[in-house]
Amino acid sequence: MAPYISAKRKGIHITNLTRTARFLSEACDLVFDAASRRKQFLIVGTKNKAADPIARAAIRARCHYVNKKWLGGLLTNWSTTEMRLQKFRDLRMEQKTGGIHRLPKGDAARLKRQLFHLQTYLGGIKYMTGLPDIVIIVDQQEEYMALQECITLGIPTICLIDTNCDPDLTDISIPVNDDAIASIQLILNKLVFAICEGRSSYIRNP
């Protein structure tokens, strides 16, 4: 991480903002190009304070997202994930049509608990029909399992990394204080804007 650190004061490492700007620009170019070719994105960040900004950013850019808990094998065991997603869709349809409410109280309560669980952990990927083309990860250390699955599958990753992370594990590393919500929002806003612009470019030039 040494090239990504500009100084150390009172035991605290200061991120090199020149590097941050450079790699953020590279990441924005990458996602713009991918979005203009209709590629699919997954945004991952499960820290409590980052959950809402991640959901808002993903919804704004029409991306898939995981913001509560990464379920092991979510990508590497995609066939199992597909079955869970189908179960989720079936339960949502049952709820919308009133089927759950017509069941005995015990069965209805059990299915509602299942639906709540699935909504919590899979709600952000309910429309995902295949593996994502690019994964954006907020906090490399916190989402190490997700990063490892991407590496195993060869899925390109963009990671927000702090001074205690390994930039060599990801395709594009953006050095930033990933404990600061303002930093996370700034980076996400830039990436989301680039994705939205890329999607608009495809619409204008099909």
Q: Does one domain contain both 105 and 145? A: no
Residues 6+ apart with CB under 8 A from 117: none
89 plus 55 within the same structural domain = no
Residue 3 lies in a domain: no
138: domain CATH number? 3.40.50.10490
* pLDDT tens for each residue of 103-162: 888 888 898 899 999 999 999 999 999 999 999 999 888 999 999 999 999 999 999 988
CA distances from residue 64 to 43, 44, 110, 133 in whole angstroms, order as listed: 6, 9, 27, 11
- Per the structure, the complete domain to which residue 119 belongs is given by 78-123
What does DSSP assign to residue 70? Answer: P
**pLDDT of 10 above 90:** no
The answer to whether residues 62 and 156 belong to one domain is yes
Asked if residue 139 and residue 46 are part of one domain, the reply reads yes
As a whole number of angstroms, the distance between CA 191 and CA 24 comes to: 8
In angstroms and rounded to an integer, the radius of gyration of the C-alpha atoms of the chain is 19
Q: pLDDT above 90 covers what percent of the chain?
A: 61
User: Is the same domain home to 61 and 157?
Assistant: yes
Based on the fold, state whether residues 112 and 176 are members of the same structural domain.
Answer: no
- Euclidean distance between CA atoms 114 and 150, whole angstroms: 27
Q: Is the residue at 25 inside a domain?
A: no
pTM for this one? 0.87
